[in-house]
Amino acid sequence: MAIATPPPVSASSPLAIDATDLGVRYSLRFTKKTTLRQSLGQMFSRDAAEPFWALRNVSFDLVRGESLAVIGPNGAGKSTLLQVLAGIILPSEGSVEVSGHVSSLLTLGAGFDQELSGRENILLAGAFMGLDDGLVRQLVPSIVEYADLGQFIDAPLKTYSSGMRARLGFAIATSVDPDILLLDEVLATGDAEFREKSKARVIELVKAAKGIVLVTHDMVWVEEYCNRAILLEKGRVIVEGNPSEVVRTHMEHSAERKAERAARLGSAGL
Amino acid sequence: MSATSEAPAAFRHAAARPGPLRLIGEAIEDIRSRRRLVRYLVQADIKKKGADTFLGNLWWIMDPLLQMGVYVVFVSLILSVKTPDYPLFILSAILPWKWFSSSLSDAAGSVVSQEKLIKQIQFPKLVLPVAATTAGVVGFLFGLIPLAGIMLLYPHRISVFMLLVPAIALVQYVFTLGMALLVAAINVFFRDLGNVLRHVLRLWFYLSPALYAMSTLDASSTFQSNPVLRTVAHANPFAVLFESYRAVIYGKPEGPPHAPDFQSLVLLLAASVLLVAFSAIVFKRLEPTFAKVL
């Protein structure tokens, strides 16, 4: 099991990510899809919405070459943490310092335009990601080949099957070698064949990248490919350290929650 | 990627609020560094609008003409208002208004419609309304084709003053941009702004001297007896713009085109630049919360 674990990195190398006392607050007032009338009503009503902390007092760092797994139950703040690391959400308190280019493989193919062709979508996605246009143009042939689109590359995206769309999204997102790679359950897309192919590509990237933060529910993957793990629950770090230990704590906590739920249901007479 | 990226290589984010001048600086840098993204978005927008309809770009030429036809029938036949060369009179207002209203509605939806992307990738959101506003210019340029056609029917109204249209259009572009940034940001928080906007725009059009001349309003008894109302009507940006376009394209009912009121135009330009700065600050201030609220 431990064969693929990257070697431990010396403590002298600089930090790729340095998060200090990170907190992300959601004001529930605006997060609900509001209309003018509702919010005018709210403005004059006394009961101000409670702030909700998606993350609180989260501190950790990522040394170059390290692969960090973030695990935890649904709603623990894992995806929010990745969004903060990607620079998409600003912390409400604390700070995060990221040195190096970040590539986030969150959900794939988010920015695709249905009317544009595959080729045009590659250029547009590259521009959104802030990549140099010359570089993106160079990458087009390899993306087309990897996504296995053939002549469809010049057809509008609305003619694509969902599999083709997922393949194109994955191919674009993994076409560049970032310094820091953020992964959020990307391994669950596409058909079985493509899943295998994409898993191989991610392993490649994991080996090449200078730092990885991975959100997953795949505990085997955590123990196999990560050299550190964080367990998040309700926006707070519960444990941090050796992957197998953190996974064990996570399993114990999940089992407890399951038992609690069962007990509650039982006492409710169901 | 490291050497050739347009995105910053490293960042430090902390819970701090940058000042207004810093925000304006950031806004300018956002657009400057992502020129190509703006260009791609504009191209995509144009392509989509052309591809959506069967007649494609031909529709862009037909639409203002049809609208002109409606108003000509309504005003000169049904209300029998006798303004000479009325088709040209009204077209000189329809074209800039179509540009403004479509740019503003597109800009209002520009950020909200990229909801998924905003939650996935960090990029300057400012490019979205800027691209929407810029794409609107192309529609206006297409509108100049039917204008040229109609002008040929009234050769006595052709003059060198027409060359001032781009200068007036520039003032309008700056004003539109300022409004666009504002509605794009606010629409994130109040999704029904688009509906409100439709009604506001319609009212704005009829209250502006589009179907009638400003001089007609000034001559009315309501305006004679109410100087405040008169001042407000003259401060309307579209009163200045419509009157300027009409001056250089149509002229006066009894006379040929003449120079526009440069003083009002310069004032409007200055006010529009201030509006853009204000809107950019508001937009940049709200931008960090977009990913949370959407």
- Closest partner residue to A130 (CB to CB) among B5, B15, B48 is B5
Amino acid identity at B276: V
Q: Which CATH number characterizes residue A238's domain?
A: 3.40.50.300
State the total domains in chain B.
1
In a domain, B90, yes or no: yes
In a domain, B178, yes or no: yes
CA distance B251 to B258: 6
- Nearest chain B Cα to A80, which residue? B292
Residues B285, B23: contact at Cβ < 8 Å?
yes
In a domain, B12, yes or no: no
In a domain, B242, yes or no: yes
Tens digit of each residue's pLDDT (9 = 90 or more) over A25-75? 887 665 555 566 666 665 555 555 567 888 999 998 888 888 899 998 888
Q: Helical H runs in A95-218?
A: 118-128, 133-147, 162-173, 192-208
Residue bearing the bigger pLDDT, A206 or A25: A25
Rg, Å, chain B Cα set: 21
In a domain, A119, yes or no: no
In a domain, A84, yes or no: yes
Q: Cβ contacts of residue A154 below 8 Å, gap of 6+? A: A117, A118, A119
- B5 close contact with A: CB closer than 8 A: yes
Q: What is the mean pLDDT of chain B?
A: 89
In a domain, A120, yes or no: no
Three-class SS state of B128: helix
Please give the full DSSP string across A12-50, using - where no structure is assigned: TSPEEEEEEEEEEEEEHHHHS---HHHHHHHHHSS-PPP
Tens digit of each residue's pLDDT (9 = 90 or more) over B30-83? 999 899 999 999 988 888 877 666 667 788 888 899 999 999 998 888 887 788
Cβ distance A30 to B289 less than 8 Å, yes or no, reads yes
In a domain, B5, yes or no: no
Task: Render the burial of A243-257: b for 16+ CB within 10 Å, e for the rest.
Answer: beebbebbeebeeee
Residues of chain A positioned with their CB less than 8 A from the CB of B48: 113, 115-116
- Closest partner residue to A91 (CB to CB) among B15, B37, B120 is B15
B121 CB-side CA count, 13 A = 23
In a domain, B15, yes or no: no
A–B: how many Cβ contacts below 8 A? 143
In a domain, A5, yes or no: yes
In a domain, A16, yes or no: yes
In a domain, A206, yes or no: no
Strand pairing category for B10-14 and A93-99? antiparallel
CB-based burial of residue B61 (10 Å sphere; 0-12 exposed, 13-18 middle, 19+ buried)?
A: middle
CB < 8 Å from B in window 89-108 of A: 89-104, 106-107
Residues of chain B positioned with their CB less than 8 A from the CB of A116: 44, 47-48
- Among A18, A34, A79, A89, the strongest candidate for a mutation testing the B interface, having the largest count of B CBs within 10 A, is A89
Residue bearing the bigger pLDDT, A96 or A269: A96
**What pTM value is reported for the model?**
0.86
CB-based burial of residue A188 (10 Å sphere; 0-12 exposed, 13-18 middle, 19+ buried)?
A: exposed
Confidence at A3, pLDDT banded by 50, 70, 90: very low
State the total domains in chain A.
1
In a domain, B3, yes or no: no
Residues A147, A161: contact at Cβ < 8 Å?
no
- B44 close contact with A: CB closer than 8 A: yes
Cβ distance B120 to A107 less than 8 Å, yes or no, reads yes
Q: Which tokens go with B125?
A: 């959101």
ipTM value for the complex? 0.80
Q: Which tokens go with B50?
A: 């052309």
Res. B206: pLDDT tops 90: yes
In a domain, B148, yes or no: yes
Domain that holds residue B260: 20-293
